[in-house]
Structure 1
Amino acid sequence: MGESRERLWTRDFVLLTVCNLLLFLTVQMQTPTFPAYVKEAYQANDFVVSLVISLFSLAAVIARVFTGEALKTKSSKILAIVALGFVAIFSAGYYWAGSIVFFLLLRILVGIGFGMGSTTFPTIVSNVIPAKRIGEGMGYFGLSTSLAMALGPLIGLGLLNWFGFGSMLIVLVLLVAIIFPLMHFIRAYNQLPVSSGNAQTVTGIRRFYDKKLLLPAGLNFCLSITYGGILSFLALYGKEAHIENVGWFFLANALAMVLIRPFSGKLYDRKGHIAVLPPGAIFVGISLLLLSLTTTESLLLVSAAFYGLGYGMIQPSIQAWMVKVVTPEQRGMANGLFFNSIDLGIAVGSVLLGVIATHSSYSVMYRWSAACLLLFLIVYFLSQLAAAKAKKAAVASENVGV
């Protein structure tokens, strides 16, 4: 019986991972294609084009906050169905959007659906993964996001260029539709986490966060600032550095993440986050410094590999950390805060690093981006020293009491 409980690759785990892959794939198909489509179809200016991404992200951030709270008491299956319904129905509505205002409204509604789904699926899967294999399990589950990041833009741009906007939307809606029958075979919806007997009812704003999550969420935010610089300015940096195929960076980056995640997850389970986060931060820092010096595609690929290794070590470990330190009832909130720290970090990174690039160059900007990892390491080690000091003081106090 004990061996059965420790199984990771159950039917529910596999199905939830596939569902998450399909959901994120639909979003990653939209991210690179919609700004260009809006600019051409509606003759929109750059500010309106920026709203295509920012309004979607803002809607997802807000939806995750309330979804995390709803998962404590509501059916996760109902929430998942509502989320997918929003994504499928309102994505199909893009085709009939007669004005940019209607298009942006649909972006908000799809963002709400994605925010709900991207919180619900990880929360369900965190209840399925054995506690002693949470790092390994979240690492494998996170591969679905990495694959979507690698394949989504390629599929979306290919469909848009070869078959047109309508065909791309059909494929997008079909991918969401595939999730519905898969969900029928998942049994973990009613697998509620075991509540601790002395759990206290939390009211007010603390329903939406826990102070134990502030450190890992802050570290994730810091890491995501650097990714905002990659997403927003890599193509422009390629022109500045005279590198033609900068898109290879994303493919090499995703491949490195896919390769490292299973190993980093097992290392997290055995040694804890201190064995994973510092080397991961060093890898990302090296990547950004190499990127700032890049003038050839070969060096670009080396930089991408380092970034993928570091990002693939840090991100699933932080998610496992956040899920592990809260009560089972708070896992929805923890997952929502995890993804929100990513989106907010990317948004802040795009703005702050863009200001630096405006007053210097993209090469200088990536060197400053590497400084985020120095801050990451300083905050992390100071927090560990403070925790060790507090633990030592607590032990000394107990000894005095005895």
Structure 2
Amino acid sequence: MSKKESSLVKKNENPNDSGEKHLMDRAAERVWTRDFILIWSAHFLLSLAFHATMPVFPVLLQDRFGLEGIAMGAAAASYTLSAILLRPPAGYLLDRFGRRSVYLPSYCLFALVFLLYPLASDAVAVTGARFLHGAVWGVVMGAANTAAVDLLPAKRRGEGIGYFGLAMICSMAAGPGIGLYCVEAFGFDVLFRGAFLLTLAGFAVVLPLRFPDIPRSDRPFALTALFEKTSLPASLAVLIFCVPFGAVNNYSGLFSRSIPGASAGVFFLCLAIGTGITRLFSGQLFDRGGPSRIMRSAYAILLAGCALMVASGLLPWGAVSFSAGGLCIGMGFGIAVPVIQAMVNALVSPQRRGAANSTMMTAFDLGICLGLLTTSHLYATVGVSGTYGVLCGCIVLSALVFFLFALPRYVKDLAGQGKT
């Protein structure tokens, strides 16, 4: 076509066509589609049931079965241990057999396990139920996150991942209070049966979900198939910065007792607010500008949070510093997690998303576990300020891993795939 003909065509084009095309493109890139709303709602209900029972379980072990100390810790840790063990196989199953075939059965089974707790007659039985519940949790969480990513447009994937994470944050804020109230008012058995009904409602919500038609992986089962190698550098950074988050989540209630005027309730509220607010925009910033600048901000905020926690044990205004530290750690965590999840999903084909997400989530759980296992010894040895001083070192180490290894590998792999 000649230049003259081309110009004539352009003159004859309807000026509204470009606007209509923009609207059509925008509609195709919507995050809050019918199916995304369904999976978000189902994820919220399942997470709400989980967080309602989480703080109650140690109380159940002590009041009903008389467990204390190491025995209580082992029973409580069985949940996390089994979740970690099942994360990698879950990713392989998602890629090999499809999202629906894994997500719906694991969701239903997660609901049914709640009914085992009232039937448990001794500590061994309740620990077995807890171990089974953790295993199913490891599968259903990987399935939910992978299915949600499948539903998101590529150009707004980071934003959508951030929004999806809000389901967990909202349930984390509301669940513990609901669970503790139910136990006080109605007892343990009513709480667990209520959690079953809540999760059953979530299962009903997710049944009409239209899963995208993702080609299934034909990769044979092997240890290497359980992990996605392109996700490993970023997942290592996640593992290291989750150590401080595990410490914060599990021991800040204990730490608050040694800081005059500090309140564990206010601290966890600040933590939830910080995480929730940043998840609203961190994914959008990733979609627009990539991970480098936003992750610099995340690490700076995380480091500031740990520094404020160090100061809380040394300064007269320690209670204010303690709560501000929780806000900063929540903000840094709320930025870093969806950004890194978007990174690992950007590097893989849809047939390997299950493995990519499970690799990252295994690292997440391992970091939380390490924080849980090491912080009590640190606290007994060096106190609150010393403990958070060591955790500051974890943030610095994670930043070094991210910027020296994970980010260059991400840029190189992205360029190799022609996505830059």
User: TM (normalized to structure 1)?
Assistant: 0.91
Match of 2:361 among 339, 342, 353: 339
**Aligned pair partner of 2:291 in 256, 265, 273:** 273
Instruction: Report the residue type matching 1:270 in the other structure.
Output: R
Deviation string 1:264-318 (CA, Å, 9 cap, x unpaired) is 1111001111122121011011111111222544333322221121111001111
In the alignment, is the contact (CA less than 8 A) between 1:68 and 1:335 conserved in 2?
A: yes
1:125-204 equivalence runs, <5 A: 125-188=148-211, 191-193=212-214, 201=219, 204=222
Match of 2:92 among 66, 69, 72: 69
1:235 aligns with 2:257: no
**2-structure distance, mates of 1:31, 1:184:** 26
Hey, what does 2:349 align to over in structure 1? 327
Counterpart of 1:376 in structure 2 is: 398
Q: CA RMSD in A?
A: 2.1
Deviation at residue 163 of structure 1 after TM alignment:
2.2
1:80 aligns with 2:98: no
Query: Where does structure 1 lack aligned partners over 5 or more consecutive residues?
Result: 395-402
Cα deviation digits, residues 33-83 of structure 1 (max 9, x gap):
101210121111311211232111111122221111111232422322321
Q: Deviations over 1:183-221 (max 9, x none)?
A: 122112xx13368xxx99466321011221111111111
Counterpart-to-counterpart distance in 2, 1:310 and 1:112:
29
1:214 aligns with 2:236: no
The correspondence for 2:80, drawn from 52, 57, 66, is 57
Mapped to 1, the partners of 2:406 and 2:49 lie a distance apart of: 39
In 2, distance between residues paired with 1:149 and 1:126? 21
> CA separation of 1:214/1:370 partners in 2, compared to 1, >3 Å: closer, same or farther?
same
Question: Matched residue of 2:209: which SS?
Answer: coil
1:98 CA drift (Å): 0.4
Could you tell me the percent identity over the aligned residues? 26
State the match for 2:321 in structure 1. 299
Aligned to 2:278: 260
Letter in 2 for 1:192: D
Asked if 1:99 corresponds to 2:99, the answer is no
TM-superposition CA deviations, 1:296-341 (whole Å, max 9, x none): 4433332222112111100111111111111211111122222221
Instruction: Report the 3-state secondary structure (helix = DSSP H, G, I; strand = E; otherwise coil) of the residue aligned with 1:186.
Output: coil
- Tell me the amino acid that sits aligned with residue 302 of structure 1: A
User: Which of 304, 309, 331 lines up with 1:309 in the alignment?
Assistant: 331
2:306 matched to which residue of 1? Answer: 288
Q: Secondary structure at the match of 2:115?
A: helix
Map 1:21-36 to 2 at 5 A. 21-36=44-59
Give TM-score, length-normalised by structure 2.
0.87
| Partner Cα separation in structure 2 for residue 334 and residue 364 of structure 1 | 35
Partner in structure 1 of residue 5 of structure 2: none
For 1:130, give the aligned amino acid.
P
The count of residues paired between Structure 1 and Structure 2 equals 387
Gapped regions of structure 2 (runs ≥ 5): 1-23
| Segments ≥4 residues shifted beyond 6 Å | 388-391
Partner of 2:14: none
Asked if residue 115 in structure 1 is aligned to residue 133 in structure 2, the reply is no
Larger radius of gyration: 2
SS where residue 360 of structure 1 aligns? helix
